[in-house]
Amino acid sequence: MAATSTPLPQAMIQTATAAADWVVVLPMALCLMGAALLLMTRRTRMFHAGLAMLFVVAIIACETVLFMRVMADGPVSMTMGKWLPPFGISFTADLFGAGFALTSAVVTLVLLVYMQMDRAPADNRDGQFAMVLLLLAGVTGSFLTGDFFNLYVWFEVMLIASFGLIVLGGRGLQLDGAVKYGFLNFIATTLFLMALGLTYALLGTLNMADIVERAPGANPAALAGIAALLVLAFGTKAAAFPVNAWLPASYHTPPAAVSALFAGLLTKVGVYALMRALVMLFPESRDLLEPVLAAIAIATLVIAPLGAIAETNLRRAMGFVVIGGIGVVISGVALPSAEGVAGSGFYIFHAILTMTALYLVAGLVEKVTGETDTRRMGGIYAANSPLSILFIVVVLAAAGVPPFLGFWPKLLLIQAGLARLDFAAGAAIDWTGLAMALALLVNAWLTLIAGTRLWAHVFWRAGSEGDRSEHQAARVRPLSQREGWLGFGATAALTAAIVVAGLMPNLAFETARVGAADFLEPSRYIAAVGLAPEE
Amino acid sequence: MDYVIAALIGLFVAVGVYFLLSRSVIRMLLGVTIFGNAVNLLIFTGGRLTREVAPIVPYGQETIAGAANPLPQALILTAIVIGFSMFTFLLVLAFRTYQALDADNTDNMRLAEPEDGCRPPLSY
């Protein structure tokens, strides 16, 4: 082994990272440090809630700076450990990643306030706030990472934190849900790991920007196999139709605030990873798999809200609405025009806010009635009409009724579907686009039926099912002052944010447009990482 | 050599999936472990198998030929740690579930999805 005479290419980063670039990793670092601090100080639990909120506010500040920077200058990247990009682990924030990370942190802050409503300081010993921060670390890391293996690591961080949160309290119901949630999600991440191993074997790299450059030269059949494995893995994480059964089996078992956190963040990370992998990393394989993706999207869109209509347990019905939202995002992956991807990104933003709000309202309803089954609820309209307004607003937003937030992404996606139709005489009809647009409309219609029907049962019906009395159910109790201020206040604030964002969607539209352009044509992303864009 | 290991990975996956299809939680745990090890072996093989030279560049030289690939080893080390912690959690969870629900068979775990749960409501 003689030493080569030609000089080796540069492999190390010689200059220090610019101070401004640290905002890319600071959110995760703050989450992890905050969680560690809370665990270390578990004896002084008086301050835990306040500390956790303080950390999340700091994270929101970091991510706002990051988002504004990405908006102004394009993707920002930072590579760890002084190795140059294809070797070192990169964190790369593009507009979608930064935007979703910011939205997740805001939602987490709302949830931390909501959690205060029925917790005494003595309860903080269980480490709930530390686990919420760890979950946020996993979610933020998944959104901001620029390395495929690192994405797996953040998935597992998120998963182990969610395991902790779902069993906290240890009731039989929660353990039952946790068994199903735990096994199926762990299998999904193991499948993802398998796809990673194959990607490395095929391409010799795991850096996302490097994968984008090398994938076109690889064996397309092998690449399509990897992409199919990724569809299964991320589809399970996101609860897309044939592999969705774990979600309605587990999401209603923990306390309402925790299931709101899950519904808002976890499945969205799964579907975001699906989008990232198929639209940006392996677009050729996506084209091959398009019929499969279209079938998954249509089946999820139509079947999930039917589940919501048939279900009587309030939070399980909400779970089916969450699954329907996943179908909306996948329909954008199946129609990857600029509008389709923008619609998907916009919908993820909407779903993080709206699905969380849906579960928060459901938690308040359960608190007021003391029941979880809608068959035994009824008559809250008279006792607590503000709650009924929140419920109907969130339902309308989730279904996508025009002035509300859910309408805009669905509009983009239906436009993307109809844009594939060629009305020129003699042109073949593109059934995929047409079927997708119809499925989106059917989904909105069925979700509206499911939601308004729940509203009618819970709020409008005088008493519980079969009850002929004109008097409202006796068990309905008013919210205490603390529950009113913290629980109802947090929910109302989130709902107000949804309404305002729906009435002024320009920023979200602009973000979705630019983010989608970067997804479909990732040269700015590659340049930010520091690899030469493809000639 | 690669083909032998590939066949072994296939066998591991088959055994893992077979155990995962069981209703018994303990068998599922065994399946998860075997499946996880199949994936670790796959990453290892994906990095090309060599058994000649350790990936340490000798003093005074800049490159090394024919060395084992160190990256899959790092990846697998991460995956083993994560997989082990997940396995531990699921093991404790299985035990607690057995205590709380008196069930090792997933068919008997019906608290979260009660058998009479999905009858549509009568009104409207």
Token code pair at residue A285: 């394989």
Contact: A194, B86; criterion CB under 8 Å: no
Instruction: Give A275-301 pLDDT, tens digit per residue.
Output: 999 999 999 999 999 999 999 999 999
Q: How confident is the model at residue A4 (pLDDT cuts 50, 70, 90)?
A: very low
Percent of chain A at pLDDT above 70?
93
Confidence band for A535, pLDDT divided at 50, 70 and 90: very low
Q: Chain B within 8 Å of A163 (Cβ-Cβ)?
A: yes
pLDDT over 60 (residue A1)? no
pLDDT, mean of residues A141-145: 94
- Nearest residue of chain A to residue B123 (CA atoms): A465
Per-residue confidence band for A2, with pLDDT thresholds at 50, 70 and 90? very low
- What is the Cα–Cα distance from A435 to A158, expressed in whole angstroms? 35
**A313-328: average pLDDT:** 93
Say yes or no for a CB contact (<8 Å) between B100 and A170: yes
A250 touches chain B (CB under 8 A): yes
- Quote the pLDDT of residue A503: 93
**Model confidence band, residue A534 (pLDDT cutoffs 50, 70, 90):** very low
User: ipTM for the complex?
Assistant: 0.93
B117/A160 touch (CB, cutoff 8 Å), yes or no: no
Q: Is A457 on the interface with B (CB under 8 A)?
A: yes
Tokens of A450: 């499911």
Return the residue in A179, A251, A303, A373 with the most chain B beta carbons within 10 A, the one to mutate for interface testing: A179
Query: Average pLDDT for residues A398-426, to the nearest whole number?
Result: 86
Contact present, A130 and A112 (Cβ < 8 Å): no
Q: How far apart are CA A280 and CA A271, in angstroms?
A: 13
Contact B46 A149 (CB under 8 A): no
Residues of A in contact with B117 (CB under 8 A): 311-313, 316
Q: Which residues of chain A lie closer than 8 angstroms to B39, CB-CB?
A: 190, 193-194, 197
- The Cα-based distances of A109 to A25, A257, A266, A359 in angstroms read 19, 12, 16, 15
Beta strands in A205-247 (DSSP E): none
Q: Does A253 touch chain B (CB under 8 A)?
A: yes
Query: Is the minimum CB–CB distance between B59 and chain A shorter than 8 Å?
Result: no
Kindly state whether A167 is in contact with chain B, defined as any CB-CB distance less than 8 angstroms.
Answer: yes
Task: Give the chain B residue nearest A375 (alpha carbons).
Answer: B121
Q: Test A1 with B58 for CB contact under 8 angstroms.
A: yes
B117/A176 CB distance under 8 A: no
Cβ neighbours of A374 in B, within 8 Å: 121
Where do the structural domains in chain B lie, given as residue ranges?
A: 2-55+67-108
Q: Is A384 helix (H, G, I), strand (E, B) or coil?
A: coil
Q: Tell me the CATH architecture of domain B2-55+67-108.
A: Orthogonal Bundle (1.10)
Question: C-alpha angle with apex B90: B88 to B91, nearest 5 degrees?
Answer: 65
Instruction: List A92's β-bridge partners, or say none.
Output: A77
- Could you tell me the sign of the dihedral formed by the alpha carbons of A65, A71, A73, A75, in that order? positive
pLDDT value at residue A326: 95
B88 has a chain A CB within 8 A of its CB: no
Q: Does B9 touch chain A (CB under 8 A)?
A: no
Domain ranges across chain A = 20-528
- Using the beta-carbon criterion (under 8 Å), do A198 and B46 form an inter-chain contact? yes
Shortest CB distance from A465 goes to which of B109, B110, B122?
A: B122
Q: What is the pLDDT of residues A16-50, one digit of tens each?
A: 777 778 888 999 999 999 999 998 887 777 788 88
- From the CA of A3, how many Å to the nearest CA of chain B? 5
Nearest to A313 among B36, B62, B117 (CB): B117
Which of B45, B62, B72 minimises the CB distance to A8? B62
Please tell me the distance from the alpha carbon of residue A103 to that of residue A4, in angstroms, as a whole number. 51
Least CB–CB distance from A160: residue in B65, B86, B122: B86
Q: What is the DSSP string of A419-473?
A: HT---STTPPP-HHHHHHHHHHHHHHHHHHHHHHHHHIIIIISSSSTT---SSPP
Beta bridge partners of A79: A90
Element (H, E) at A317: helix A314-334
Those residues whose C-beta lies under 8 Å from the C-beta of residue A458, and which sit 6 or more positions away, are A314, A365, A369, A374, A377, A378, A380, A391
Nearest residue of B to residue A378, measured between CA atoms: B123
Q: Inter-chain contact B35–A187, Cβ cutoff 8 Å?
A: yes
Please compute the mean of the pLDDT values over residues A142-148 and round it to a whole number: 93
What is the 3-class SS of chain B, one letter each residue? CHHHHHHHHHHHHHHHHHHHCCCEHHHHHHHHHHHHHHHHHHHHHHCCCCCCECCCCCCCCCCCCCECCHHHHHHHHHHHHHHHHHHHHHHHHHHHHHHHHCCCEHHHCCCCCCCCCCCCCCCC
Whether B115 has its CB under 8 Å from any CB of chain A: the answer is no
Nearest to B100 among A156, A172, A309 (CB): A172
B121 inside 8 A of chain A by CB: yes
| CA A260/CA A365 separation, integer angstroms | 14
What are the C-alpha distances in Å from A119 to residues A39, A146, A401, A508? 18, 38, 36, 35
CB pairs under 8 A between A and B: 131
Mark residue A255 as left, alpha or beta (left: phi above 0; alpha: psi -120 to 50; beta: remaining): beta
Contact B90, A32 (CB under 8 A): no
In chain A, positions 113-132, which contact chain B (CB-CB < 8 Å)?
none
Report pLDDT digits (tens) over B10-54. 999 999 999 999 999 999 999 999 999 999 999 999 888 877 777
pTM of the model: 0.93
